[in-house]
Amino acid sequence: MNRHSVLYLRTAGAWLCALLLFFPIFWLGLMAFKTEAQAISTPPLMFFSPTLQSFRDVMARDNYTGYALNSLFTSVLSTAIGLAIAIPAAYSMAFFPARGTVGLLKFILSSRYMPGVGALMPIYICYQYFGLLDSRIGLTVMFMLMNLPIMIWLLYTSLRELPREILEAARMDGATVLDEFRYIVLPLAVGGIASTALVCMVWAWNESFWSLNLGASNAGTLAWLIASYSSPEGLFWAKLSAASLMAIAPIMALGWFCQKQLVQGMTFGAVK
Partner 1 sequence: MAYLQLSNIEKFFGAQHAIKGIELGIGKGEFVVFVGPSGCGKSTLLRLIAGLEPIDKGSLQLDGRDITHLNSSQRDLAMVFQSYALYPHMTVFENMSFALKLAGVDRATIRAKVDKAASILDLHQYLQRTPRELSGGQRQRVAIGRAIVRDPKVFLFDEPLSNLDAALRVQTRIEIAKLHRELGATTIYVTHDQVEAMTLADRVVVLRDGRIEQHGSPLALYDRPANRFVAQFIGTPSMNVVPSAALPQLANGNGSGGFVGIRPEHVRLGGQAIGGLAATVDMVESLGVETLVYARLENNVQIVSRGSERTRLQPGDRTALLFDANAVHHFDAAGNAEAAVMQAAL
Partner 2 sequence: MNRLMPRTLLTPAVLAIAIISIVPLLITLSYAFVKFSLLAPGEHAFHALENFHFFFSDGAFLPALQNTFVLMFSVMFITVLCGAALALLINEAFPGRTIVRIMLISPFLIMPAVNALMWKNMLLNPIYGLFAQVSHLFGLTPVDWLSQYPLLSIIMMVSWQWLPFACLIFMTALQSMDREQLEAAGMDGANYGQKLRYLYIPHLGRAVSVVLMIEMIFLLSVFAEIFTTTGGGPGFETTTITFMIYQQALQSYDIGAASAGALFAVLLANIAAFFLMRVIGRNLAK
Long-range CB contacts (< 8 A, 24+ apart) of 252-259? 254/198, 254/201, 254/202, 255/198, 255/202, 258/194, 258/198
Q: Of the candidates 1, 20, 172, 271, which one interacts with partner 1 according to CB under 8 A?
A: 172
**116 binding partner (options partner 2, partner 1, none; Cβ < 5 to 8 Å by kind):** partner 2
Is 43 one of the binding residues for partner 2 (CB under 8 A)?
A: yes
Site string for partner 2, 2-31 (x = CB under 8 A): -----x--xx-xxx-xxx-xx-xx-xx--x
184 binds, among partner 2, partner 1, none (CB under 5 to 8 A by kind): partner 1
Per rule CB under 8 A, is residue 33 in the interface with partner 2?
A: no
Nearer to partner 1, 31 or 185 (CB): 185
* Dist. CA 170–CA 111, nearest whole Å: 36
Residues 44 and 251: their CA atoms lie apart, in Å, by: 28
DSSP code for 62: S
**Does 161 participate in binding partner 1 (rule CB under 8 A)?**
no
What radius of gyration, in Å, describes the C-alpha atoms of the chain?
23
Question: Smallest gap, in angstroms, from Cβ of residue 183 to partner 1?
Answer: 7
Judged by beta carbon, residue 86 or residue 139, the one nearer partner 2 is: 86
Q: Is 173 in the site for partner 1 (CB under 8 A)?
A: yes
Query: What does DSSP assign to residue 46?
Result: -
237 contributes a contact to partner 2 by CB under 8 A: yes
Q: What is the dihedral of CA 12, 18, 24, 28, to 10 degrees?
A: -100
| Number of C-beta neighbours around residue 234 at 10 A | 15
- Residue 248 binding result from partner 2, partner 1, none, given CB thresholds of 5 to 8 Å by partner type: partner 2
Ordered alpha helix ranges (H), 43-179: 53-61, 64-95, 101-110, 120-130, 136-160, 164-172, 177-179
Q: Are 144 and 86 in contact (CB under 8 A)?
A: no
Helix (H, G, I), strand (E, B) or coil at 73: helix
Least Cβ distance, residue 97 to partner 2 (angstroms): 9
**Residue 172 binds which entry of partner 2, partner 1, none, with Cβ cut-offs from 5 to 8 Å by kind?**
partner 1
Q: Which entry of partner 2, partner 1, none binds 165, CB below 5 to 8 A by partner kind? A: partner 1
Q: Check the CA dihedral 144-147-149-154 and report its sign.
A: negative
Span 150-169, contacts to partner 2 by CB under 8 A: 150, 152
123 near partner 2 (CB under 8 A): yes
**Region of 42-50, 70-78, 149-157, 177-185 interacting with partner 1 (CB under 8 A):** 177-185
Residues binding partner 1 (CB under 8 A)? 163, 165-166, 168-176, 179, 183-184, 187-188
